[in-house]
Structure 1
């Protein structure tokens, strides 16, 4: 549990660096009530609460892994966002990070977000798609390319979409959001880029990928494709090597989409 918490904390840092030190891109100003769905360790919710002392911030997640430290205007609840949303009030800002791939019904999520916003409120989804991409052809014929294909197929067999975040803009449009904006940003996976900032970001993302790749790969390959654990472990040996290979110019795609519920 502690190792996973540390990995999620690192992911939070990667998101912030990629977004220029910001916690969100939606033009949110002095929101009264804020909810962070799929809050994980709760670090985003706590930092937002610290930066916005006038806001009442709620973080929800299925797993109670939040830190004992929190801001006085921040609290946490165990909740499943795929169930019906039952709250005593609506929100001015809804934030969700790294949840799209885990959702079985993203359109239902978008509808729930819209229904639980106050008029004029904003919802924002931030995701990093864990699919190795390159701007050149250095990924061709690699274990990373094979990993992409296998994971996409296996996740699909399990009823989810590994690339779901690429449809978030359309899903929000279909739900009825207005003033929708989408940003797509490359996150390097090791130290191959030029420039100290991008190299450091790549090293952090490489560490996050190395720490986090085993469990989901074994789960998807075994449950989604029928592999044995031993087969998956052997396959991961080359995947880990190539994640660290600076001659493979791999990156993940970060997708941030936000939209507004129109004022009355």
Structure 2
């Protein structure tokens, strides 16, 4: 199930950005997912906002077939059209189009099998600088972050969606709720070669996103 405010990612720039974004998440988290899934049996899996399908194709999770459905993840009709219930529902970098997390997560809950899992991997805005680095209000990256937050708010999207999960999920009936914070790298400051590579990829994906953001703003706001 996938939704793009802009046209679907058919160009090389967007496809490359999604490839790098996928690699950043895998190397930051250390795995495709953290949910303790029983992969000894076939699983029914739903990937929300699958982009170019990197996570979907690699995960497989002992599934026997893959089906792609282009639909609005926030449309009740889209969820009603799903005939199955799922053992695992996954979403990554979907905060940019979610206007109501309670509604989306309630639909996920209703479509999970008993004992099923949901996992959302996402960023939190506005961006923050951790550690001892001195960042001023003139930093262009933080200015871009602030502008993106304003644009998301104008579109009715919450930039701090991840901060709501601990409150929303238990109230919908989810149990064993766990949140993990990970630091993602941007820029040229890391010392190790591995961190330098990740930081460069992070910077490049944000640079490509800025290109897409201009198109999004000109069309939507």
TM-score range, shorter chain: 0.7 to 0.9
Q: Which runs of 4+ in 1 moved over 6 A?
A: none
Distance in 2 between residues matched to 1:26 and 1:149, nearest whole Å: 32
Distance in 1 between residues matched to 2:108 and 2:171, nearest whole Å: 12
Q: CA deviation at 1:140?
A: 1.2
Contact 2:95–2:157, Cα closer than 8 Å, also in 1: no
- Counterparts in 2 of 1:193 and 1:221: CA distance versus 1, 3 Å: farther
- Counterparts in 2 of 1:218 and 1:131: CA distance versus 1, 3 Å: farther
- CA offsets per residue over residues 65-119 of structure 1, 9 Å max, x none? xxxxxxxx22212121111212212000000111123111111011011100000
Please, which of 9, 25, 45 is the counterpart of residue 19 of structure 2?
Answer: 9
Q: CA deviation at 1:130?
A: 5.5
- Counterparts in 2 of 1:10 and 1:137: CA distance versus 1, 3 Å: closer
Q: CA deviation at 1:223?
A: 5.5
Distance in 2 between residues matched to 1:76 and 1:127, nearest whole Å: 21
- For structure 1, which segment, 160-169 or 146-155, has the greater mean C-alpha deviation from structure 2 after superposition? 146-155
Please, which of 48, 54, 57 is the counterpart of residue 46 of structure 1?
Answer: 57
Q: CA deviation at 1:11?
A: 0.5
Distance in 1 between residues matched to 2:133 and 2:93, nearest whole Å: 27
Bigger radius of gyration, 1 or 2?
1
1:141 maps to what in 2? Answer: 137
Q: CA deviation at 1:164?
A: 1.4
- Asked if residue 194 in structure 1 is aligned to residue 191 in structure 2, the reply is yes
Structure 1: unaligned runs, 5 residues or longer: 57-72, 225-264
Distance in 1 between residues matched to 2:203 and 2:56, nearest whole Å: 25
1:82 maps to what in 2? Answer: 74
- SS in structure 2 opposite 1:118? strand
Distance in 1 between residues matched to 2:219 and 2:129, nearest whole Å: 27
2:4 maps to what in 1? Answer: none
- Asked if residue 106 in structure 1 is aligned to residue 101 in structure 2, the reply is yes
Q: CA deviation at 1:219?
A: 3.7
**Over aligned residues, Cα RMSD in angstroms?**
2.0
1:99-178 equivalences under 5 Å are 99-129=94-124, 131-135=126-130, 136=132, 138-142=134-138, 143-178=140-175
- Asked if residue 91 in structure 1 is aligned to residue 86 in structure 2, the reply is yes
Q: CA deviation at 1:209?
A: 1.1
- Counterparts in 2 of 1:130 and 1:117: CA distance versus 1, 3 Å: same
Contact 2:91–2:119, Cα closer than 8 Å, also in 1: yes
- Asked if residue 26 in structure 1 is aligned to residue 41 in structure 2, the reply is no
- Counterparts in 2 of 1:221 and 1:17: CA distance versus 1, 3 Å: same
Structure 2: unaligned runs, 5 residues or longer: 1-10
Task: State the TM-score, normalized to the length of structure 1.
Answer: 0.71
